Structures are given as structure tokens and as C-alpha cells.
């Protein structure tokens, strides 16, 4: 050993010729550089979630720390969402990943919310609906999840009646703001379910505790009844126009020609007339809810568009 | 000063000076501060990530200190033959064990206090108010203290029965298994359900000694917290009683 130190022969290959040693070293350098290049190339792919374990397995592996496992998985989901090349990669893993996070920690309200919004905006509406419904079932107090579910229904699926049902669920949630009642009314009316809006508002009126709320609900109920009555006339107008080349100029013709047994009472106390849009309206309340067209709603926002 | 307290005092100083303990404690503090940086990666609700990662780091580090320091306390004294001059004095083996355990428990609780102080500072800094310092956080920290004294007692039990290495392995296995007893009992279906029930009683139910979820969601601590803490302390006392019985009969020649 002492001799080796004296001659400087500390190499692990003491008998190997110098040129071979140099060649081997260069070869190792090259291989390392190649591996580094390959590693870099693999990192050039968009961030993806390669493996999504089952929730039951994760629960065991977390050694009783389900929230920790959920939070660590959530951090990966955030990277998945934040990937700038997500369009190139796709969004197939978002729903299963957030499903896993919320299986491990069912109270992770923000995960439902973020996933619901993003999945809807990238045309994965059934998945968005599923995660929002799961979230609202787990957290009935988080009314924003039901509001988002209602948004999906009318905005992506043109299903205003379902939107009304989810808005109603949101409005019934503890701590929900009072203005959601107006949303329920609007969605139900646009979904031709003014009857459901009336039922909801009548119940809200029965349970309202303060005079201010009662007054506001009475106003909304009046609109709902007005819309229900106007919808009855609209339906008769449609039948009339289907049978005759020219529509009636006055709504009273619907009664005289047998399309309606009688005109419904106008809750605003005016008289019924036919508006510029061909729908019935009251002379005392000319504005009515109108279902917007796809064009009026604007282009669907989307991360992948 | 009674022999037990003298031994506890010596043990406390010895444990505090140990490199492994100091390293782990520093690592714990770094982990807690690191969790602050990790929480920056999330979308909203930073508090949940920060408190969860911080509390988990504290628990992992505290448990590792309890396992590796506790496992070497008695067995190390036997292996290095330091034990003989001690028990040659008018000190019973039980007093010796108790003194060692109390010193270990005191060191574990001081470590816990240091880590809890670091986590509290980080949480207060993130929130910009003292709101995170609530009853749930106090309960979570207290629960971790109970967990550490339970794991410490198990470590002393194995340390008084076998070598340091084996004691560390057994204690670590028990500490991990103790986190899974709730899951095991819930998920074990079909025949021989007496097996999980038996294990439920034998293994320390460490999974019940956690209030991390209450801290994350800023909800009141579970109503059964006191019962879980009492259970933990009783389990530690039982482990010590078993350790004493075994150590009294052990042939140390």
C-alpha cells in the first residue's frame, strides 16, 4: 500500500494500459452524457400522471394518513392542470386523479370545484358533472358545487330544467346567499318549468323568517306565476300558428277560436298582449325571461380551445 | 433527588446530546419549513397543504427519534456494560427502566415542542394572523406527544428484551402497524375476524391519536380526544409494566 502511494498507483485498474484506461473513462463520460440527454428528452414531454393507484391501496400505503396522501396527490394534479402543453397531452387523467384525491379526502372541496370547472371547459362535461355531484353529496354546505353543476347543465347541455334543479339544490344549502332564489327562478322559467319555480318559492315563502325576505320572495313568486301564465298563452299561440297561416293579432282570439278555455289572470294586473318577439306579455310587465341562444351565450370557454 | 429522577435527568441530557436525535430534529425543522415552499405549488387553500405536511413531518421525525433513541437506551447500556455499575447501586431494575423512560419521554416532548413552535411560526406567517393557533392544532400536537410516549414505551420494552438493532426493527414495525389497526379492522371481512380483533387489542392504536384533519379543516377536535389520549397513556404504562417484569427476570450475565 505504501509502495503504491509512493508511485502514485492508486488506480483501481493498476495493470490496465494507460490508453485503455483513458478510453474507458471517455466511454463512461460519453455514456453519462447520452443518459443525461435521454433524461432531458424524456422531460420534454408534457407532464402526465403515469400511475394512478386505487384509493383502497393508497389508503393502506398512507399508514392512516389519508389526508396527507390526498394532499400529495393533489399537488401532482395541480402540476397536471398547470402543464402549458396540456392540449397536446389531453385531460384523460384529470377525472380519475381528482376522484382518487376525493376518495382519500372526501372533504377536499376545492378539488371538486377546480376539477369541475376545468373538465367542463375542456368538453368533458359528463366527468365534470360526476365530480361536482360527488362533491355536493359529500359537502352539502358547499353550494358553489351545485351552482357549477347548474352552469354545466344550461351552458354545455342546454338543459335549463336540470340547471334549475341544481340551482334549487344550491339555494337550499346551508349558508347559500338569498340571491340564488332569483337564479332558480330564471333557470326554471327558461327550462319551461315555471311550476317548479313556483313550488320552490312558495316553500321559501313559508319558511322565510324576516319581512324583507318575505317581500323579496313575494316579488319573485309574482314573476314566476306571471311566467307560468304567459307560458300557457305561448303554448296556445304556437298551436294557433301551426294551424293557421297568420298568427292572431290579439290574444283574445285564442279563446274565441277555442285554443284556450279562458285567459289566465295576469298577476301584474295588466292585460295580455303579443310582444314583438311573438310571445305573450302583460301590458303592466313587458319584460319576460327569454332562453338565450347558443350564439348569445358566447363561445364555450375552454383551456383546450 | 430520587434515583428515578436522577436517571431521567441523565437520560434526558444524554438523549439531547445524541447526534442522531439532533440530526433528525434539524431535518424535521427543515421539512416543516420546506412544506411552506411546497404549499406554494398548490392551487388555493395553502393552509391545508402546509398544516398537513408540517404535522406529518413532525410525526415521522418524532416517531423515528422515539424508535432509534428508545431502542438503544437499555439494550445499549447492556451491550456497552454500562448497566452493571448502575444496578450495583441501590437502584432496582424497574427504577432504572422508569428513569430511562422518563428521560426519553421528556426529550421527545421537548423535541415536539421545538417542532410545534416552528410549525406554528410558519402557519402564523402564512395566515398573517394568530388564527391557526387554535384548539385543533393544540390537540394535534398533544396527540403526537401521546404517540411518541407510546412508541417510546414500546421501544423501551423491546430494548429491555433484545439487542438495539432488533429492538429498533420491532419498534418500527409496531409503530407502522399501529397506524393501520383501524383500517385492518374495518377492511378484514370473512372468516377469522378474531385475528384483526386480537391485533386491535395487542397493537397500539396510533391511528386514533391524530387530529390532523381537524387542523386542516379548522374544525373542533374530536369529542373522543380525551379518551384516545387516556388510552395511549394506559398503553404506554402497560408496555412499561411488561418491560419491567421482563427486565427484572432477565439474566444479564
Please give the pLDDT value at position B102.
95
CB A198 within 8 A of CB A225: yes
pLDDT band at B173 (very low <50, low <70, confident <90, very high): very high
**Where does residue B190 fall: left (phi above 0), alpha (psi -120 to 50 degrees), or beta otherwise?**
left
A184, A171 contact by CB (below 8 A): yes
Minimal C-alpha gap between B4 and chain A (Å): 35
**Which residue of B35, B37, B38, B41 is the best one to mutate when testing the A interface, meaning the one whose CB has the most A CBs within 10 A?**
B41
Long-range Cβ pairs for the range B28-31 (8 Å, 24+) = B28/B57, B28/B58, B28/B60, B28/B61, B28/B62, B28/B111, B28/B115, B29/B114, B29/B115, B29/B118, B31/B57, B31/B60, B31/B61
CA neighbor of B77 nearest in space, from B152, B159, B22: B159
**pLDDT(A35) > 50:** yes
Q: Could you tell me the residue range of the domain that residue A95 belongs to?
A: 48-139
Q: How many domains does chain A have?
A: 1
**CB atoms near residue B47 (< 10 Å):** 19
Is residue A8 domain-resident? no
- Closest CA of chain A from B213, distance in Å: 7
CA-based R_g, chain A, Å: 33
Average pLDDT in the A137-158 region? 93
CB contacts, 8 Å: A107 with chain B: 213, 217
Q: pLDDT for A236-264, tens place per residue?
A: 999 999 998 888 989 999 999 999 999 99
Burial string for A223-240 (b: 16+ CB within 10 Å, else e) reads bbbbbbbbbbbbebbeeb
In a domain, residue A166? The reply is: no
- Do residue B52 and residue A67 have CB atoms under 8 angstroms apart? yes
**Are B53 and A71 in contact (CB < 8 Å)?**
yes
In a domain, A83, yes or no: yes
B183 CB within 8 Å of a chain A CB: yes
Residue A82, in any domain of the structure: yes
pLDDT tens-place string over residues B107-146: 999 989 988 998 998 889 888 889 889 889 999 999 999 9
Task: Look at residue A38 and tell me if it is in a domain.
Answer: no
Taking 50 as the threshold, does the pLDDT of residue A6 lie above it? Answer: no
* Cβ-Cβ contacts under 8 Å for A84 (sequence gap 6 or more): none
Residue B52, chain A, CB below 8 Å: the answer is: yes
Site of grid cell 391545508 = B48
Which residues in chain B touch residue A74, judged by CB atoms under 8 angstroms apart? 42, 49
Domain for residue A212, yes or no? no
Indicate the residue of A65, A71, A114 with minimum beta-carbon distance to B43: A114
Residue A10 lies in a domain: no
Question: Distance from A302 to chain B by nearest Cα, in Å?
Answer: 19
Ramachandran class of B81: left when φ > 0, alpha when ψ lies in -120 to 50, beta otherwise: left
Contact A65 B48 (CB under 8 A): no
Distance CA A107, CA B182 (A): 20
pLDDT of residue A14: 59
Q: What is residue A4's predicted lDDT score, i.e. its pLDDT? A: 43
Question: Is A134 among the domain residues?
Answer: yes
Instruction: Count up the domains in chain B and report the number.
Output: 1
Q: Best residue in B49, B50, B184 to probe A by mutation, most A CBs within 10 Å?
A: B49
- Whether A71 and B44 lie within 8 Å, measured CB to CB: no
ipTM of the complex: 0.72
DSSP A84-97: TTHHHH-STTHHHH
**Binary contact (B207, A64; C-beta < 8 A):** yes
Output the domain CATH number for residue A92. 1.25.40
Q: Which residue of B has its CA nearest to A71?
A: B49
DSSP code of residue B208: G
Q: Give me B16's grid cell.
A: 439531547
End-to-end CA distance of chain A: 70
Residues of chain B found within 8 Å of residue A110, distances taken between Cβ atoms: 43-45
Mean pLDDT of A265-280: 92
Q: Which domain holds residue B184?
A: 3-249
Q: What is the pLDDT averaged over residues A112-133?
A: 94
Could you please report the per-residue DSSP string of B42-74? SSS-HHHHHHHHHHHHHHHHHHHHHHHHHHHHH
Amino acid at each position: 500500500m505504501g509502495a503504491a502511494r509512493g508511485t502514485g498507483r492508486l488506480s483501481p485498474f493498476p495493470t490496465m494500459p494507460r490508453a485503455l484506461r483513458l478510453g474507458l473513462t471517455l466511454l463512461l463520460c460519453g455514456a453519462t452524457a447520452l443518459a443525461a440527454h435521454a433524461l432531458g428528452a424524456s422531460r420534454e414531454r408534457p407532464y402526465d400522471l403515469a400511475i394512478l393507484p386505487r384509493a383502497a391501496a393508497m389508503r393502506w400505503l398512507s399508514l392512516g394518513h389519508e389526508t396527507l396522501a390526498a394532499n400529495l396527490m393533489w399537488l401532482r394534479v395541480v402540476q397536471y392542470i398547470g402543464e402549458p402543453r396540456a392540449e397536446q397531452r389531453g385531460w384523460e387523467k384529470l377525472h380519475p386523479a381528482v376522484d382518487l384525491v376525493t376518495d382519500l379526502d372526501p372533504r377536499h372541496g376545492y378539488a371538486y370545484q377546480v376539477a369541475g370547472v376545468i373538465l367542463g371547459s375542456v368538453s368533458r362535461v359528463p366527468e365534470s358533472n360526476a365530480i361536482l355531484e360527488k362533491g355536493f353529496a359529500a359537502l352539502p354546505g358547499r353550494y358553489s358545487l351545485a351552482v357549477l353543476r347548474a352552469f354545466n347543465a344550461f351552458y354545455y347541455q342546454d338543459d335549463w330544467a336540470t340547471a334549475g334543479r341544481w340551482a334549487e339544490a344550491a339555494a337550499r344549502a346551508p349558508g347559500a346567499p338569498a340571491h340564488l332564489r332569483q337564479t332558480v327562478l330564471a333557470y326554471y322559467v327558461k327550462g319551461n318549468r315555471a311550476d317548479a319555480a313556483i313550488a320552490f318559492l312558495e316553500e321559501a315563502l313559508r319558511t322565510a323568517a324576516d319581512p324583507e325576505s318575505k317581500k323579496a320572495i313575494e316579488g319573485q313568486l309574482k314573476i314566476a306565476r306571471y311566467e307560468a301564465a304567459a307560458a300557457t298563452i305561448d303554448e296556445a299561440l304556437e298551436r294557433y300558428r301551426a294551424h293557421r297561416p297568420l298568427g292572431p293579432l290579439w290574444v283574445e282570439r285564442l279563446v274565441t277560436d277555442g285554443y284556450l278555455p279562458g285567459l289566465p289572470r295576469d298577476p301584474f294586473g295588466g292585460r295580455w298582449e303579443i310582444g314583438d318577439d311573438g310571445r305573450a306579455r302583460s301590458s303592466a310587465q313587458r319584460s319576460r325571461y327569454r332562453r338565450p341562444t347558443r350564439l348569445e351565450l358566447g363561445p364555450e370557454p375552454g383551456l383546450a380551445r | 433527588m430520587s434515583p428515578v429522577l436522577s436517571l431521567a435527568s441523565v437520560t434526558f441530557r444524554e438523549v439531547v446530546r445524541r447526534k442522531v436525535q439532533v440530526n433528525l430534529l434539524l431535518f424535521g425543522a427543515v421539512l416543516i419549513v420546506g412544506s411552506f415552499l411546497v404549499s406554494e405549488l398548490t392551487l388555493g387553500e395553502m393552509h391545508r397543504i402546509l398544516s398537513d405536511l408540517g404535522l406529518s413531518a413532525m410525526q415521522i421525525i418524532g416517531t423515528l427519534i422515539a424508535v432509534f433513541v428508545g431502542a438503544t437506551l437499555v439494550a445499549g447500556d447492556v451491550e456497552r456494560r454500562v448497566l452493571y455499575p448502575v444496578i450495583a447501586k441501590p437502584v432496582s431494575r424497574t427504577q432504572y427502566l422508569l428513569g430511562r423512560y422518563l428521560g426519553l419521554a421528556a426529550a421527545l416532548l421537548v423535541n415536539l415542542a421545538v417542532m410545534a413552535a416552528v410549525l406554528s411560526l410558519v402557519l402564523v406567517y402564512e395566515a398573517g394572523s394568530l388564527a391557526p393557533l387554535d384548539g385543533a392544532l393544540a390537540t394535534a400536537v398533544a396527540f403526537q406527544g401521546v404517540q411518541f410516549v407510546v412508541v417510546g414505551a414500546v421501544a423501551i420494552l423491546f430494548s429491555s428484551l433484545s439487542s438495539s438493532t432488533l429492538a429498533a426493527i420491532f419498534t418500527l414495525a409496531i409503530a407502522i402497524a399501529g397506524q393501520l389497526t383501524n383500517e385492518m379492522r374495518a377492511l378484514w371481512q370473512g372468516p377469522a375476524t378474531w385475528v384483526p380483533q386480537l391485533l386491535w387489542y395487542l397493537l397500539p392504536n396510533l391511528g386514533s391519536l391524530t387530529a390532523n384533519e381537524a387542523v386542516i379543516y379548522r374544525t373542533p377536535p374530536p369529542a373522543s380526544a380525551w379518551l384516545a389520549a387516556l388510552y395511549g397513556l394506559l398503553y404506554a404504562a402497560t408496555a412499561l409494566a411488561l418491560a419491567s417484569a421482563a427486565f427484572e427476570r432477565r439474566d444479564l450475565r
